[in-house]
Amino acid sequence: MSAEATAPGKIILFGEHSVVYKGPAILLAVDRRATVIASKRDDKRIYIDSEDLGFSGYFEDGKYTSVTGKIWRGRNMAALDVAARKVMAYLGIESGVNLKVRSMIPIAVGLGSSAAVCVATTAAVGELFDGNLTNEKISELSYEGEKVIHGNPSGADNNIATYGGIMRYERGVGLKRLKLDVSLPFIIGNTRKKRSTRNMVEGVKALRDRNPEVVDPIIYTMASLSQAGLDALLRRETKKLGDLMNLNQGLLSALGVSTIELDELVYAARREGALGAKLTGAGGGGCMIALAESENLNKVEKSIRAARGHSMRVNITDEGVKTRKIKDEYS
């Protein structure tokens, strides 16, 4: 018997960087998912196999052994090991597990791939041992895995991967889940340039430390823009939503987190009629998102590809983590 769990990736619609200081970030779960299939082992190993993420190996007594002899993707692998062990410790079980990981979410470009994989691992291992984990527990335990990768993350990514839908996150205020009753497509343009969120956040901090009198008002504007953007989204005022995305891009650029590659994709999208286009996530590479009327979606996507971006069309999804048991052929 094995158990499967899937969890969605995410985009940040508004509030990246400003959320570190003030105001909300608005996160949307998107219909690109990570899947983990967990099965029991007779030994104590946590055996992780993922072609999509490019690694295969196992942990035993905290020590990693590569099976493919390929790259050691240290923190990614360790995060899954931690997530699986935390679930078993919570359930009072001592066992090894096989984790087969597949993901349709590109890694290290701000689309919440690590959170989706941690959440799916937690849920799959929980299901395998009939743990009846609540969503709250899944999110809490997977956060332990996320910490291995990101140090001290906000907790927003593991929540959106667990619950799906729309999430408003504000420091000191917490998370609020919202639902959108109709679907809204976005186009993601991926520069395919990996970047570190930590470095980007540090860069903004250094700029602010040197120029607080200029940077603070930018951050305050971003904070109010983020709230206005959420209101526009919930009211489906797409023209206004597009305006606010464009304004936000200008301010993110002012903070120095956009790049020439991101700008090229943003302008490529706008040139073909996108209502709004901005980078999403930490910047410095990674992805941008565009909002367009349905008749312009194809043109916008084509334009992003012509500007050397990888394009994906996604929809907001209310579907958070999902689990099921799989009956093996011979069991």
What is the token pair recorded at 101? 């990981």
Residue, CB closest to ligand PMV? 281
Alpha-carbon separation of residue 81 from 32, 92, 98, 283 (angstroms): 23, 16, 10, 28
> Cβ(9)–Cβ(35) under 8 Å?
no
Closest approach, Cβ 204 to ligand PMV, in A, equals 8
Closest approach, Cβ 175 to ligand PMV, in A, equals 13
Query: 4 vs 261, which CB is nearer to ligand PMV?
Result: 261
Alpha-carbon separation of residue 234 from 139, 167, 184, 227 (angstroms): 25, 12, 11, 11
Residue 22 DSSP class: S
Query: 99 vs 219, which CB is nearer to ligand PMV?
Result: 219
By CB under 6 A, tell whether 100 contacts ligand PMV: no
Residue 8 φ then ψ, to 5°: -85, 155
Stretch that binds ligand PMV, among 14-22, 58-66, 124-132, 318-326 (CB under 6 A): 14-22
Positions annotated as catalytic residues are 157
Closest approach, Cβ 239 to ligand PMV, in A, equals 26
Residues 157-216 close enough to bind ligand PMV by CB under 6 A: 197, 200-201
Which among 29, 37, 36 has a CA at the least distance from the CA of 11? 29
Closest approach, Cβ 110 to ligand PMV, in A, equals 3
Query: 153 vs 185, which CB is nearer to ligand PMV?
Result: 153
Residue type at position 259: T
By CB under 6 A, tell whether 23 contacts ligand PMV: no
What is the token pair recorded at 82? 């931690």
In the list 95, 135, 154, 227, the residue contacting ligand PMV (rule: CB under 6 A) is 154
By CB under 6 A, tell whether 20 contacts ligand PMV: yes
Q: Residues binding ligand PMV: what is the number (CB under 6 A)?
A: 12
Q: Which residues pair with 6 in a beta bridge?
A: 35, 322
H/E element, 26 = strand 24-41
Give one DSSP letter per residue of 52-79, joined into a string. Answer: TTTEEEEEETTEEEESS-----HHHHHH
Query: 299 vs 310, which CB is nearer to ligand PMV?
Result: 310
- Binding residues for ligand PMV (CB under 6 A): 12, 16-17, 19-20, 110, 154, 197, 200-201, 281-282
